Amino acid sequence: MKNKEEGLRSRNWFGRTGKDGFIYRAWMKGQGIPADEFDGKPIIGICNTWSELTPCNAHFRELAESVKRGVIAAGGLPVEFPVMSLGETLMKPTAMLYRNLASMDVEESIRANPLDGVVLLCGCDKTTPALLMGACSVDLPTIVVSGGPMLTGKYQGRDIGTSDIWRFSEANRAGSMLQEELLMAEACMCRSRGHCAVMGTASTMASMVEALGLSLPENAAIPAADSRRKVLAELSGRRIVGLVKEDIRLSQILSPQAFENAIIVNAAIGGSTNFIIHLLAIAGRIGVPLALEDFEKIATGVPLIVNLQPSGQFFMEDLYYAGGIPAVMKILSPRLNKELLTVNGKTVEDNMKNTISYNSEVISSLEEPINPQSGIWVLKGNICSDGAVIKPSAATPRLMVHRGPAVVFENIEDYKARIDDPLLHVEEHSVLVLKNVGPKGYPGMPEVGNMSIPKKLLDRGVTDMVRISDGRMSGTAFGTVILHVSPEAAVGGTLAVIKDGDMILLDVPNRRLEVELTTAELNERKKALVFADMHQRGYTHLYQKHVQQAHLGADFDFLRGCSGSEVGRDSH
């Protein structure tokens, strides 16, 4: 147990005498904090991604108040601080461009300030990985509190969620849903505070956090509007003080075995393909070796047991009422590392042992799964020598082995200009190829990989096609979509030289993705490649210069690893 004599980190600020102590304390006292608050209480930072430009996190000031109550009750001093917030829906060209920037903000804010422990308030997609990446590079005692999912949307007597956006927009393009109906649906979908209610990236990230042992049990699924979300926040505030006293840091929770648990849980819940990119980046920060291939190896044989959109039918609210992630982990327990310590001081086993699935339609058994195929599979071949990914539970089974001619879009503008052109030379068996939407190419690797079905095929009732890109897709999306092709087109990957009519071979059972061209032909074409100019100033310049490829988590090369929490010098 730590006490003030043994030296909390914050004592290097507030425990000082003379000029330095005066300066460190005086301005804090200016906020109306009594003198004895600085007598050795653990100082708990509440890292808040509240922003009205991040609607999924717009309730976080209130959530922070609950955390504060818990910190105070346990004898700590809470201090809330803002970091860059990343709103998935509003930020252009993509929130992903700024994940690494936000992670730098978080890392430096935590290290530079007199904090003994941190509560990370995360919600919308990129806020969770950004905050965790930054926190891992400092490695203080840390707990995550997620904002929780929205209540299920209700439209014309049925349940809807973010995955319906893709269905509705296709219906609108096909003429079966009018603009007025779209407007009505749009008003019916986001019924409450919280993030997307399907198993999109935000829910995936919240589930990841819980599976890693970085939150209190049930963190992932309690709806944002449910009073128990606030209870969880307050209890997390209490617990972070204990975690500081016990000096349990992120690196003690984030063992390689914890990463294995997260990968197994992600497969079982049908988590987003973005899980791979973010977990790779987090592993890189905390120093756990993890490769793209591990995602499939570790989850081999894990079926889909959670029936949530986009792979299934239901919503996060249903998952919570059915028992949440603890019930999922209980069913997966033969596969999990159960002895691991989690942030509440208990083991994985302790946290799940008293739970059951209350609804087998939502959380099934291993014996009768929702889908025997699950997880995220890694493809290799001459198109993707460093890998590409596909989410089989969201794909069409008959397209998993497919040979067809490429219809190539050189970039996003080319795609947007021609996808609905009645003269576009495309058939149902064509393979849509989109280039230059990777980390360096776009830049920022946006969620555009689930290209729309060309209008003329949509009119014929085609609902899925093989689509390939170096981009990502929303965790809420679905289809036979091959993503994260690495190396990307913008760095001279094979994708860059694929032309209209080249035959593409997809063989998911054998994990192959090939273009039927010889190495000599590919090399010849690559010689003629001309690369687009990179940005010359600002953050985008830094990003394009230092971002790593998708199979390495798209983190900056210079951000891998941890610099610890020590700061040697004072401010004055």
Whichever of 200 and 324 has its CB closer to ligand FES, that residue is 200
Whichever of 89 and 396 has its CB closer to ligand FES, that residue is 89
Question: How is the chain split among helix, strand and coil, in percent rounded to 5?
Answer: 40, 15, 45
Task: Give the Cβ contact number of residue 401 at 10 Å.
Answer: 13
Task: Give the Cβ contact number of residue 427 at 10 Å.
Answer: 14
d(CA 224, CA 214): 19
Which one among 207, 273, 374, 474 touches Mg ion, defined by CB under 5 A? 474
46 DSSP assignment: E
Distant-in-sequence contacts of 521-530, Cβ < 8 A, 24+ apart: 522/382, 522/494, 522/497, 525/497, 525/499, 526/492, 526/494, 526/496, 526/497, 529/492, 529/496, 529/497
Q: Measured from the CB of residue 195, what is the shortest distance to ligand FES in angstroms?
A: 3
Question: Does residue 124 belong to the site contacting ligand FES (CB under 6 A)?
Answer: yes
In the region spanning residues 6 to 65, those forming contacts with ligand FES, defined by CB under 6 A, are: 56
Query: Is the four-CA dihedral 95, 470, 529, 404 of positive or negative sign?
Result: negative
d(CA 119, CA 233): 9
Which string of x and - marks every residue 160-189 that binds ligand FES (by CB under 6 A)?
--x---------------------------
Question: Does residue 193 belong to the site contacting ligand FES (CB under 6 A)?
Answer: no
Q: Which does 230 bind (CB under 5 to 8 A by kind): Mg ion, ligand FES, none?
A: none
Question: Does residue 200 belong to the site contacting ligand FES (CB under 6 A)?
Answer: yes
Question: Does residue 127 belong to the site contacting Mg ion (CB under 5 A)?
Answer: no
Stretch of residues binding Mg ion (CB under 5 A), selected from 17-25, 63-71, 121-129, 534-542: 121-129
Q: Which does 202 bind (CB under 5 to 8 A by kind): ligand FES, Mg ion, none?
A: ligand FES
Size of site (CB under 6 A) for ligand FES = 10
Cis peptide before 78 (omega within 30 of 0): no
Question: Does residue 195 belong to the site contacting Mg ion (CB under 5 A)?
Answer: no
Which string of x and - marks every residue 52-91 that binds Mg ion (by CB under 5 A)?
------------------------------------x---
d(CA 249, CA 45): 14
Q: Measured from the CB of residue 511, what is the shortest distance to Mg ion in angstroms?
A: 26
d(CA 173, CA 420): 9
Whichever of 141 and 147 has its CB closer to ligand FES, that residue is 147
CB 489 within 8 Å of CB 438: yes
Stretch of residues binding Mg ion (CB under 5 A), selected from 50-58, 198-206, 460-468, 524-532: 198-206
Stretch of residues binding ligand FES (CB under 6 A), selected from 19-27, 183-191, 195-203, 288-296: 195-203
Whichever of 261 and 476 has its CB closer to ligand FES, that residue is 476
| DSSP structure string for 47-113 | EE---TTSGGGTTHHHHHHHHHHHHHHTT-EEEEEE-----TTT-SS-GGGGHHHHHHHHHHHHHHS
Q: Measured from the CB of residue 200, what is the shortest distance to ligand FES in angstroms?
A: 5
Q: How buried is residue 424: exposed, middle or buried, by Cβ count under 10 Å (0-12/13-18/19+)?
A: middle
Q: Measured from the CB of residue 89, what is the shortest distance to ligand FES in angstroms?
A: 5
- Cα torsion at 385, 99, 565, 205 (round to 10°)? -80
Tokens of 68: 């504060």
Stretch of residues binding ligand FES (CB under 6 A), selected from 196-204, 384-392, 405-413, 460-468: 196-204
Q: Measured from the CB of residue 7, what is the shortest distance to Mg ion in angstroms?
A: 42
Tokens of 175: 């003429």
Q: Which does 331 bind (CB under 5 to 8 A by kind): ligand FES, Mg ion, none?
A: none
d(CA 282, CA 285): 5
d(CA 451, CA 465): 9
Question: Does residue 195 belong to the site contacting ligand FES (CB under 6 A)?
Answer: yes
Q: Which does 549 bind (CB under 5 to 8 A by kind): ligand FES, Mg ion, none?
A: none
Q: Measured from the CB of residue 196, what is the shortest distance to ligand FES in angstroms?
A: 3
Q: Which does 249 bind (CB under 5 to 8 A by kind): Mg ion, ligand FES, none?
A: none
In the region spanning residues 459 to 498, those forming contacts with ligand FES, defined by CB under 6 A, are: none
Question: Does residue 88 belong to the site contacting ligand FES (CB under 6 A)?
Answer: yes
401 DSSP assignment: E
Measured at the alpha carbon of residue 458, what is the angle toward residues 457 and 462, in degrees to the nearest 5? Answer: 75
Which one among 4, 16, 62, 89 touches ligand FES, defined by CB under 6 A? 89
Size of site (CB under 5 A) for Mg ion = 4
Q: Measured from the CB of residue 88, what is the shortest distance to Mg ion in angstroms?
A: 5
Strand bridging mode 503-507 / 401-409: antiparallel
Query: Is the four-CA dihedral 222, 224, 227, 232 of positive or negative sign?
Result: positive
Whichever of 125 and 317 has its CB closer to Mg ion, that residue is 125
Question: Does residue 125 belong to the site contacting ligand FES (CB under 6 A)?
Answer: yes
Task: Give the Cβ contact number of residue 251 at 10 Å.
Answer: 13
Stretch of residues binding ligand FES (CB under 6 A), selected from 112-120, 192-200, 345-353, 425-433: 192-200
Q: Which does 56 bind (CB under 5 to 8 A by kind): ligand FES, Mg ion, none?
A: ligand FES
Distance in Å from the first CA to the final CA of the chain: 32
Q: Which residues bind ligand FES (CB under 6 A)?
A: 56, 88-89, 124-125, 162, 195-196, 200, 202
Q: Which residues bind Mg ion (CB under 5 A)?
A: 88, 125, 201, 474
